[in-house]
């Protein structure tokens, strides 16, 4: 079974802090994704990565950055946390088309982040 592990289920930080959210997958997937989920707005893509050291902006990248130094790990960074970044953050991974076009995207359990 694919396992996508997010480092924290709940996190409370202060405005202006630099925040790191970590995600690790154990299936050698090429693709990794970060989403945020908010009531009434659904899931929105923040950043994604097709390979090590590669990153692509999603729909709402402002205020965030990412790091992918190793294939299994994809980190989301809030450079200077603000209250409007309070949300549920979800990490996901999937194989590339060459690895299997019929393979679903797998999600972690999410991190509920509160910025005070």
Partner 1 sequence: KQEVTQIPAALSVPEGENLVLNCSFTDSAIYNLQWFRQDPGKGLTSLLLIQSSQREQTSGRLNASLDKSSGRSTLYIAASQPGDSATYLCAVIFLTGRRALTFGSGTRLQVQP
Interface with partner 1 (CB under 8 A): 4, 31, 33, 40, 42-43, 45, 48, 50, 56, 58, 90, 92, 97, 101-110, 112
Pick 65 or 80: Cβ nearer partner 1: 65
| Minimum gap (Å) between residue 63 Cβ and partner 1 | 19
Q: 33: closest CA among 69, 64, 76?
A: 76
| Minimum gap (Å) between residue 35 Cβ and partner 1 | 8
Residues contacting residue 4 through CB under 8 Å, at least 6 positions apart: 23, 24, 25, 91, 92, 93, 106, 107, 108
Q: 116: closest CA among 84, 78, 79, 76?
A: 84
Pick 42 or 84: Cβ nearer partner 1: 42
| Minimum gap (Å) between residue 76 Cβ and partner 1 | 15
């Amino acid at each position: 079974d694919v396992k996508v592990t997010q480092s924290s289920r709940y996190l409370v930080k202060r405005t202006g802090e630099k925040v790191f959210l970590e995600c690790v997958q154990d299936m050698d997937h090429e693709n990794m994704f970060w989403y945020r989920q908010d009531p009434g707005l659904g899931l929105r893509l923040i950043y994604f990565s097709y390979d090590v050291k590669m990153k692509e902006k999603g729909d709402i990248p402002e205020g965030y950055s990412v790091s992918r130094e190793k294939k299994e790990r994809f980190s989301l960074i809030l450079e200077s946390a603000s209250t409007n970044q309070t949300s549920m953050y979800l990490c996901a991974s999937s194989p590339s088309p060459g690895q299997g076009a019929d393979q679903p995207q797998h999600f972690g359990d999410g991190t509920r982040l509160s910025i005070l």
